[in-house]
Structure 1
Amino acid sequence: MARVLCLDFDDTIVMENTARLVFERFAAPAWRDREADYRAGRLTVEQFNAAALLTVSATRDELRAFCADTVTLRPGFLEALDWALWNGWTPVVVSNGFDFYVDAVLDKAGVDRVARHAGRTRFDYRWQVTYLSPRGIELEAGYKLSYAAAFKGVGDFVAYVGDGASDIEAAKLARVVFARDALLRALEGVHPRVYAFETFHDVIAVLEREAPAWAEDAASS
């Protein structure tokens, strides 16, 4: 049984919503119409990101440079990765965002031993993105959920770290949840092990205090 620290990216690993910053800087105004469709429930987050990305005009190098220079890592993130690796946990990034900015930010931070799963982008006349499940199935909904289900399906012990509505269904499958904002509001008092956090120092403190007991519980069950 692996111990997986499953990490959302936007508003979690970084303080900002990187996709939104990209759209505000590089997308045509039509992206806001797609955002209205998403907020009204007519599009999933994956469909919204794909539709908004179609309106972006920039090179990959421009996008990578902008994202790497604009967003800020949440305090304690690098220390949390070190803790995980030293203590036998496997950190994994699972994001509905885009590979070009997840890679740019983590590469700049020197994070090279963490698996990254995000929308796979390509430029073919226009920017396009594909979301693939762990089995290689193209998805238009439930991208994060597909990874959480895969981890659970092989018996992994998953601690999920996230903040938003798109994290809720995936986080419900985790044994432990570290949550902020919409995710915290949805799961607090519902999930048996949900912990509020603002920095990754909060996450580390809980892991150091509680993880040994979690391991014993998992072994006994």
Structure 2
Amino acid sequence: MPTAITPPRAPAPKTLPMPQVNTPEQKRKIICFSGHKANMSQDFDGTIFMQDTGHILFDAHGCGSKRREMLDEQIKTGERSFRDVSEEMWGSLKVPFDDGFEVMEKTLEIDRDFQSFHNWCLANNVPFNVISAGLKPILRKVLDTFLGEEASAHIDIVANDAEIKDDGSEWKPIWRHDTELGHDKALSITEARSEAELACEDGTVPLIVFIGDGVSDLAAAREADVLFARRGLRLEEYCIEHEIKYYPFDSFADIQRQLEQIRAEDTAKTAGKGLPALFNPRANLWRRVSSQQAVPRFAAMTPSREEKMFLWPEAFSELKTPGFERSELGASVVPPAQA
């Protein structure tokens, strides 16, 4: 009589872990960009500072206020490009850097609430960046002086570089982009957004905030998710005229209060209370997969089987052919409309 063989015990059903989603402690990243004027008369009032650093230098040590106003008018009429006029303005300076900075230090006035706002950014891990058509060495020196080098070091400056001779006989801009503007602020914002998205390990899309006051800020402002425009100045007027959504502000204290409210609302959404697609880390992951630019990075960090099941549950029925595993990310697999 054949010997009875006891069949092996069926394995216990495995409980698959759900992919991690945002909790109240995992707030979506907020990144702030603030405009800064360098030599545009129509944007004379500043954002962080109430005066224009370029104007102070040109009027005191360069072409003078009368010639500067003529050059600004050439930009406004389209007679000459911003880059062309800027090169003439910076080239008119004949003063050593430190001597030129003395007049700026005496003239510049910082927004009364900016230092407090910057401390809030540091405490809440909110990166703050200055984006400008001006020269990075000047902006760094100004921030170091008014904030202190330790606090200033936490602010990234996205601007043009410069070659300045020790005797001050030549000030030459090194343009960030080969365009008529010299610095394409919109492109810089787009690049920063892409880098931040790739750096977010939880897959969320960072919230880009832009703070400005003049029409020259408009290109960068269009790339932001949230726009703040200083009340009563040209950027606000433009937003009203063209029905662009924005938050008005009188000082950086207004911006801080609004961002605190935005963070609170965003936290509630990412905690699962009416989570829209924009905040959905898995929806954002799908956008990366479907983007040709994102394919190389995705190939290096392919999601686990459990994550795939969360993304495309209809593709994982109980009965699967052995070969499906190899093609489950192929073109035939269509993800849900809303992850």
TM-score normalized by structure 2?
0.58
Query: Matches of residues 5-84 of structure 1 in structure 2 within 5 Å?
Result: 5-10=32-37, 11-29=46-64, 30-84=67-121
Number of positions where the alignment pairs a residue of Structure 1 with one of Structure 2 = 216
Query: Aligned to 1:190, which of 243, 262, 276?
Result: 243
Residue of structure 2 equivalent to 1:166: 216
Task: Tell me, in whole angstroms, the C-alpha distance in 1 between the residues paired with 2:161 and 2:105.
Answer: 18
The CA deviation string for residues 177-219 of structure 1, in whole angstroms up to 9 with x for no partner, is 1102121122247334x10011101111111122232453542
Task: Tell me, in whole angstroms, the C-alpha distance in 2 between the residues paired with 1:170 and 1:56.
Answer: 28
**SS at 1:5 equivalent:** strand
Structure 1, unmatched stretches of 5+, are: none
**SS at 2:94 equivalent:** coil
Query: Matches of residues 193-208 of structure 1 in structure 2 within 5 Å?
Result: 194-208=246-260
Shift of 1:27: 1.0
1:122 aligns with 2:172: no
Decide whether the 8 Å contact of 1:131 with 1:138 is kept in 2: yes
Distance 1:44 1:171, change over 3 A: farther
Task: Tell me, in whole angstroms, the C-alpha distance in 2 between the residues paired with 1:39 and 1:27.
Answer: 21
Shift of 1:68: 2.4
Decide whether the 8 Å contact of 1:8 with 1:93 is kept in 2: yes
Shift of 1:152: 3.2
The CA deviation string for residues 63-108 of structure 1, in whole angstroms up to 9 with x for no partner, is 2222223201111111111111212211011111222331221101
Task: Tell me, in whole angstroms, the C-alpha distance in 1 between the residues paired with 2:72 and 2:48.
Answer: 23
Distance 1:58 1:101, change over 3 A: same
Report percent identity of matched pairs.
Answer: 19
Decide whether the 8 Å contact of 2:186 with 2:222 is kept in 1: no
Task: Tell me, in whole angstroms, the C-alpha distance in 2 between the residues paired with 1:48 and 1:157.
Answer: 34
Task: Tell me, in whole angstroms, the C-alpha distance in 2 between the residues paired with 1:17 and 1:42.
Answer: 23
Shift of 1:168: 0.5
Shift of 1:32: 4.0
Of 97-106 and 39-48, more deviation after overlay is shown by 39-48
Query: Matches of residues 209-220 of structure 1 in structure 2 within 5 Å?
Result: 209-214=261-266, 216=269, 218-220=278-280
The CA deviation string for residues 24-55 of structure 1, in whole angstroms up to 9 with x for no partner, is 11112544442221121233434332221111
Of 211-220 and 113-122, more deviation after overlay is shown by 211-220
Counterpart code for 1:159: V
CA RMSD, 1 decimal: 2.2
Residue of structure 2 equivalent to 1:140: 180
Structure with greater strand share of residues:
1
**SS at 2:47 equivalent:** helix
The CA deviation string for residues 90-146 of structure 1, in whole angstroms up to 9 with x for no partner, is 1011111222331221101212211112221213552111221xxxx4443253222
Task: Tell me, in whole angstroms, the C-alpha distance in 2 between the residues paired with 1:2 and 1:210.
Answer: 12
**SS at 2:133 equivalent:** strand
Task: Tell me, in whole angstroms, the C-alpha distance in 2 between the residues paired with 1:117 and 1:151.
Answer: 10
Task: Tell me, in whole angstroms, the C-alpha distance in 2 between the residues paired with 1:63 and 1:118.
Answer: 19
Distance 1:83 1:140, change over 3 A: same
Distance 1:44 1:163, change over 3 A: farther
Of 9-18 and 211-220, more deviation after overlay is shown by 211-220
**SS at 1:8 equivalent:** strand
Decide whether the 8 Å contact of 1:27 with 1:52 is kept in 2: yes
